[in-house]
Structure 1
Amino acid sequence: MTRTVAAFVTSTAPRLHLMAALTVLVLLALAVPVRADISPFVGSYKGSADVLSADGTVQTRDMSVEIARNDKGFSVRWTSTRRRENGTENSKTYAIRFVPSDRTGVFSAAMGRNVFGHDVQLDPMQGEPYVWARLSGDTLSIYSLFVTDEGGYEIQQFDRTLVNEGLRLKFQRLRNGVPLRSVTTVLQRQ
């Protein structure tokens, strides 16, 4: 009986090693972060929205956003246009490139370059925004964090969710936890 057990162990040992090796390879493959797919968001969107300020005033603005792939990740360019009572317009446009981080679905803003030519984040301690993006399901969120001169903070959050008509935009701006401005609208795919 001792020989039978020894023969069984000897004959199954190579198979056990192979199964252990395959198990390790499968676990390693699962541990590699899967890159989030920006493809469904790529395109141009336009619309208008009523912007609600903390003092209760409402301003109508025309809005547009373009989301595009680039060689390392993707870019987002958005414009907000306000019409003044005297008929003139005031437009603000922002464009940010994003590159994948080591976290699945989280992207770093590539807003600057270091001395070696690598993409880097801006420095919030220098009054610059710290920006990142998160892709979770049907929602692309972009966050901008500012450190105020007094040492407080301001954060802006843009949630862009895919809907049948295009993108549902939800924007919030907070300073030290106090809401300053909010927007909710749907931008039509162009």
Structure 2
Amino acid sequence: MAAVALSGQIAFADISRFVGEYSGRAEVETRAGDISLRDMSVVIRETKIGYSVTWTSTTEKDDGRRKVKSYQIEFQPTERDGVFSAAMKRNVFGHTEQLDPMKGEPYVWSRITGDTLTVFSMFVAPNGDYEMQQYDRSLIEGGLQLNFNSHRNGIPTRFISTFLSRQ
């Protein structure tokens, strides 16, 4: 049991390099093939037993309206070194647990490999199709390189790459 705790502590220690606030702007290709600008930010914080990642993207519409999407997920160490489970809801005993992809909820986890913090999410559609999303946030001078990609049933559907400067 001590090895498991130590493994989680080693993985947890790696997050301190990523802690901070970052922001930037990305060019995103719309479904119609047009290019739109999207403001993006991420905040990474240590928590009592892991860390949290909050990310926001803001798109400005042609008529001046702004569409804001924001997500916040807490992660906890697992028995696997550098791999973290999402703590997205509490069960009846007050313990955090993963969401259920068979109920249309995303299954989310993260890992730290070298200078890259990756957040994965998997969605299962009612017809059994699936979508995988991957957010790679790599430490580089002055901030993070964000590479996002999504796949539906193994076919790439979107790729976004941008630099997020440390605030």
Structure 1 residue 104 corresponds to structure 2 residue 84: no
Residue 152 of structure 1 deviates from its aligned partner by 1.2
Larger radius of gyration between Structure 1 and Structure 2: 1
| Contact residue 165 and residue 186 of structure 1 kept, 8 A | no
Structure 1 residue 145 corresponds to structure 2 residue 128: no
| Contact residue 53 and residue 181 of structure 1 kept, 8 A | no
Query: How do residues 65-84 of structure 1 correspond to structure 2 at under 5 angstroms?
Result: 65-84=42-61
| Contact residue 101 and residue 108 of structure 1 kept, 8 A | yes
Letter in 2 for 1:167: L
Query: How do residues 29-178 of structure 1 correspond to structure 2 at under 5 angstroms?
Result: 33=7, 35-36=10-11, 37-53=14-30, 56-178=33-155
RMSD: 1.8
Distance 1:122 1:175 in 2: 20
Q: Select the structure that is richer in strand.
A: 2
Distance 2:155 2:122 in 1: 14
Structure 2 gap ranges (5+): none
Q: Select the structure that is richer in helix.
A: 1
Letter in 1 for 2:114: G
| Contact residue 50 and residue 60 of structure 1 kept, 8 A | yes
Query: Normalising to structure 2: TM-score of the pair?
Result: 0.92
Residue 53 of structure 1 deviates from its aligned partner by 4.4
Structure 1 gap ranges (5+): 1-27
The runs of at least 4 aligned residues of structure 1 exceeding 6 Å deviation read: none
Residue 55 of structure 1 deviates from its aligned partner by 5.2
